[in-house]
Structure 1
Amino acid sequence: MMEVSVSLSLQKNKEHIQNQLFHSSDLKWRSIRFNQLEGLIFFLESLSDQQRIQKEIIQPLEETKVGTVDEIIVSVGIERISNLSRLPQALVQGNCVLLFEGIEEALIVGVAADYKRSISEPVNEGVVRGAHDGFIEHLITNLYLIRKRIEDPDLVVRYYEAGEAAKTKLALLYMHDLVNPDLVKEVDRRLGSIAMDTTISPGFIAELIEDNPFSLFPQILFTERPDRAVAHLMEGRVVLVTDGDPNALILPVTFFAFFQSPDDYHSRWIAGSFIRMIRLMSFITATLVPALYIAIVGFHPEILPSNLIFTVKSSIDRVPFPPIVEALLMQIILEVLREAGIRLPSRVGQTIGIVGGLVIGDAVVRAGFVSYPMVIVVALTAISSFVAPSNEISTATRILGFPLMILSALFGLIGITYGLLFIFIHLCKLETFGTAYFAPVMPLRIKDLKDTFVRFPIWSLNQRPHDPHPKRLNQERYSRGWENDDPGKE
């Protein structure tokens, strides 16, 4: 845009601002007189706090007759500019603009309105124990929640703007004494290369900066929990917080990070390890059980015990469709019910989910379209897919079951074997921001397995994970020094 200097004529400046904002109805102005000069205060009533304008600008200027405008206005953010073309952008950011007759400078004052909801517990990441506060749609509040937990000058916050037309403010957070500098440079490079008119949500940012956009597996962890973000920051990772959305992005992460929950560390280590293993086994169950059922019924019934063979056979004999059609039909019905339950109001959605599942499940079995074993298999799969604490990996699990079902219908257990082999190879090859996605299994690092499939006691976790390549791998040992100081042992 060509630069236009502020004119000596107040009327010309007013007409220019009106034209640049296309005479928008929420553009307001108010006349003011100071030091014998006529002036105008411009602001957008939808973005600016009019009480602050009255209290911080108009009232001080009317009461004080000596001094400069900069000295009299009590607002924190004040900037003088002579480029008239910058004023419309300043207005749409919530600022107000002061112009005076005969002065070739404009004054930008920060008076943006602040409408935000109160801090509440995240709906999608509830815990039994631990903190019950969550991120909201206000960037500064989210930074406050993190800084209150890490009162350390090594915590660095860097601001970015994404979007050419509708600019979205981002904040990149990392621990200066822990994070790998190459990681920060790479994230900075990718964020700087974003060229879009608008980035509506963190999902846009994630797709624009992730390494493998065609992979089914999520490579960036979304969270609404400040304690979870802080835990990853202290491991040497970086966190992206977006203004206007309660989700923070954590990167780089591994496959196993999506199965970890703050509850694992708020419970005793045996209970936490047990629950984590349940989550990982649920992932395997949701992915494999429908495919295994199709392969066994269609190709390998001899695997089943003799008593069970007759039970399953009597149920599937009256079904006119092959097992793959049964499975696809039930899975699609389940996804439709799930989506309907999400979109409907909460009170109605729960009723639709329960009643719809019971009525449709019973009806399709009685009509002979689906066998009873298939209903059990699909129900077990559905329950298992919702166990993961991350919605992204839960969705990937459900989608992953479809190609495995098709392979099992075509080739039986051999098809499943080749499908699993392909998935395992893909996981081993996948990288995100220079980190092996399947670490610490591939490449194998024994010490990091203490907090992977199970969670060892806190006092034994004396090293940070190796996958983000932190500056300091060793951290202060979680001491049980009181055992050595016990007088009874002397």
Structure 2
Amino acid sequence: MSFFKGKSSLSSSSNGDGQLCDDIEKNIKMLEEHFCHTEDLMKKELRFHNQKCVILYLDSLVKKELLQASIIEPILEMKSGEMEKTVHAAEIKRTSTISEAGKQLLDGFCMILIENNPQAYMASVGGIEGRAIQEPNSERSIKSTHDGFVEDFSSNLHLLRKRIKNPQLKVRYFTLGNLSNTKVGMVFIENLANKELINEVERRITSIEIDQLYSTGELEDLIEDNPFSPFPHILATERPDRAVSYLTEGKITIILDGNPRVLVVPITFFAFYQTPDDYNSRWLVGSFFRIIRVFSFIIAISLPAIYIAIVSFHSEVLPIGILYSIRVSLEYVPFPPLAEAIAMQIILELLKEASIRLPSPIAQTIGIVGGLVIGTAVVDAHIVSNMMIVVIGFTAIASFVAPINEMGTSARLLGFPTMIAASLFGFFGIVFVLMLIFMHLSKLDSFGTPYFSPIAPFKKEDLKDSLIRLPLWKLNTRPTDAKPAYAKQQGQTRAWKKK
């Protein structure tokens, strides 16, 4: 049987549907069987109202000091009263099934069994420390906030609620994975998000049947519209300010427990080239850098191909001085320009991967010294030309400009078919491939939203915050790509000018 097929034999074979009874020893035995007699299921016997009381918990998921202070000591000190009023847990609930008790234990609860009582009390004693909130390394900002999402679900939800202090901010919980039981949260603003969009996202999430789900990348693969497209259809961010800005546009964020990246749907192409710093600078500055980023996408795709086309077919477009310099550098190179470009692109990816996987001090050495040594060596050995090193360097810089790493990687990948077309047909091949790419962009959808909006289809009103950013007082309406319930987002923000 396939490991990723619906209900696995591992999850269905466990004895998790038993009902608790008056026999405390039988209840303990059923719970131990439910957890396959794992050795980190701890038991502690006490007396409560002259009755036997047993506390069970998973040693790796509870905070011992909290368990002792809020559960054990109150039970030992209290001579009469109800259990709910005795313990000092932040949350306490009752259950009568082994399966529900098992789920609560895996969430950091402890189970309190009392003799001759067919119900169990579940008290929250979780609190294992996670990673502190800090700025994400992959999405650094100069003028914006410096906090980021972490692996803890509650902390990530706190970062959103801290910024949107509104009762309309709504969360829906799901549990995915028959074995992993991963907690997933869909967050949106109730009176703003489009109802059809909410239902569509919920339908895609609830239709997932899988044994394990640990990362947002896996969830993205399962719910995106066009999995074979080179472009990312869902934006994954570690920045709370970016996620909040999309929530206020009527979009939906998806939080996955144990993962510091939050998914945003639906999304458009131009969103991958926008940063929070655009709104913390004057609008002219923000617009200038946004245009630079979008232009870098074209450079990353076509610059090596343009060089190959000029050298192979269209040398007459260059001034004689530059053409002479290129011809001299190519005189002793035995490989065609296409082979040079592909080889250098692969070396660039190898250097990038090596710098990511190695420890930071070594990675810096590999990135700087390795690049210089390899670049100098291949030129001196007449394997590639000087001009090719310059072209690949500009291409790498242009692809790294993208604020979201996935889009920069997609641009570099698309450079390979563009280079092949340029080596075969020159400028005509480049134009043909670029035409196919933009046709593909115009055809894509993200949860019912045109991916290349507001260019295709053309929406004049949405241009004010896509390729450029107009002043804030001009942004009176929300973007229409997510079809929000109402478009207006601000009134007369510069009313003081009329006084």
Please classify the TM superposition score into its range, dividing by the shorter chain length.
over 0.9
Residues 296-335 of structure 1 correspond to what in structure 2 (within 5 A)? 296-335=310-349
Alignment of 1:216-231 (within 5 A): 216-231=230-245
For 1:210, the aligned partner's letter is: E
Whole-angstrom distance in 2 between the partners of 1:102 and 1:351: 68
Q: Higher mean Cα deviation, 271-280 or 308-317?
A: 308-317
Conserved 8 A contact 1:460-1:478: no
Q: Distance in 2 between matches of 1:73 and 1:212?
A: 52
Q: Which of 268, 292, 295 in structure 2 is aligned with 1:281?
A: 295
Please state whether the residue corresponding to 1:40 is helix, strand or coil. strand
How many angstroms apart in 2 are the aligned matches of 1:18 and 1:147? 39
**Alignment TM-score, normalising by the size of structure 2:** 0.95
Identify the match of residue 187 of structure 2 among 164, 168, 173.
173
CA change 1:85–1:452 in 2 (3 A) is closer
Identity of aligned residues (%): 46
SS at match of 2:163: coil
1:5 counterpart = 2:16? no
Distance 1:19 1:66, change over 3 A: same
Name the CA distance, whole Å, in 2 between partners of 1:11 and 1:362.
75
Q: Secondary structure at the match of 2:325?
A: helix
- C-alpha displacement at 1:13, in angstroms? 2.3
Given that 2:61 and 2:107 are in contact with CA atoms closer than 8 Å, whether structure 1 keeps it comes out as yes
Tell me which residue corresponds to 1:271: 285
Amino acid at match of 2:327: K
Deviation of residue 332 (structure 1)? 0.4
Aligned alpha-carbon RMSD (Å): 1.3
Counterpart of 1:69 (choices 83, 90, 108) is 83
**What is the CA deviation profile of residues 104-150 of structure 1, one whole-angstrom value per residue up to 9, with x for unaligned ones?**
22222221233222221121111111211111111111111111111
Partner Cα separation in structure 2 for residue 176 and residue 13 of structure 1: 42
CA distance, structure 2, for counterparts of residue 85 and residue 300 of structure 1? 72
Alignment pair present for 1:442 and 2:456: yes
Contact kept, 8 Å, 1:10 with 1:102, in 2: the verdict is: yes
Counterpart of 1:116 (choices 130, 133, 145) is 130
Q: Contact conserved, 1:290 with 1:378, CA < 8 A, in 2?
A: yes
d(CA) in 2 for partners of 1:293, 1:451: 33
Report SS of the residue matched to 1:148.
helix
Instruction: Give the one of 225, 234, 237 matched to 1:211.
Output: 225
Tell me the distance in 2 between the aligned counterparts of 1:374 and 1:339: 21
Give the TM-score taking structure 1 as reference length: 0.96
Secondary structure at the counterpart of residue 250 of structure 1: strand
Q: Contact 2:305/2:430 (CA < 8 Å) preserved in 1?
A: yes
Q: Aligned-pair distance for 1:458?
A: 0.9
Distance (Å, rounded) in 1 between the aligned partners of 2:185 and 2:97: 28
Gaps spanning 5+ residues in structure 1: where?
486-490
Per the alignment, residue 350 of structure 1 pairs with 364
Indicate which of 457, 463, 466 corresponds to 1:452. Answer: 466
Q: CA deviation at 1:83?
A: 1.9
Equivalent residue, structure 2, for 1:390: 404
**Mean Cα displacement is larger for which, 308-317 or 470-479?**
470-479
- Match of residue 153 from structure 1: 167
Shift of 1:9: 2.7
Which among 120, 124, 143 is matched to residue 106 of structure 1? 120
**Residue 407 of structure 1: which of 421, 435, 438 is its match?**
421
Provide the rounded CA distance (Å) in 2 between the counterparts of 1:65 and 1:265: 61
Letter in 1 for 2:170: V
The residue correspondences of 1:181-192 to structure 2 (distance < 5 A) are: 181-192=195-206
SS at match of 2:457: coil
User: Distance in 2 between the 1:151 and 1:61 partners?
Assistant: 38
In structure 2, distance between residues paired with 1:76 and 1:380: 56
- Which residue does 1:16 correspond to in 2? 30
Q: Could you tell me which residue of structure 1 aligns to residue 140 of structure 2?
A: 126
Residue 96 of structure 1: CA displacement? 1.1
Match for 2:213 among 186, 199, 224?
199
* Cα deviation digits, residues 403-447 of structure 1 (max 9, x gap): 111111122111111111111111111001110000000110111
Deviation at 1:5, TM superposition (A): 2.2
What are structure 2's unaligned runs of at least 5 residues?
1-11
SS in 1 for 2:185: strand
Q: Compute the displacement of 1:460 (Å).
A: 0.9
Q: In the alignment, is the contact (CA less than 8 A) between 2:34 and 2:98 conserved in 1?
A: no
Deviation at 1:7, TM superposition (A): 3.4
User: Which letter does structure 2 place at the counterpart of 1:333?
Assistant: I
2:375 match: 361
Residue number in structure 2 paired with 1:42: 56
Moved over 6 A (4+): none
Q: Show the counterpart of 2:150.
A: 136
Provide the residue aligned with 1:96 in structure 2: 110
**Counterparts of 2:135 and 2:381, CA distance in 1:** 44
Give the drift of 1:37: 1.1
Deviation sequence 1:159-197 (CA, Å, 0-9, x none) = 111111101112211112211100000001011011111
> Which amino acid in 2 is paired with 1:237?
K
My pick for the range that moved more, 354-363 or 20-29, is 20-29
- 1:293 equivalent in alignment to 2:307: yes
**Residue number in structure 2 paired with 1:488:** none
Q: CA deviation at 1:74?
A: 2.0
Q: Partner letter of residue 395 of structure 1?
A: T
Structure 1 range deviating more: 71-80 or 255-264 = 71-80
**CA offset at residue 478 of structure 1?**
5.0
> Is 1:296–1:412's contact at 8 Å kept on the other side of the alignment?
yes
Query: How far off its partner does 1:273 sit?
Result: 0.8
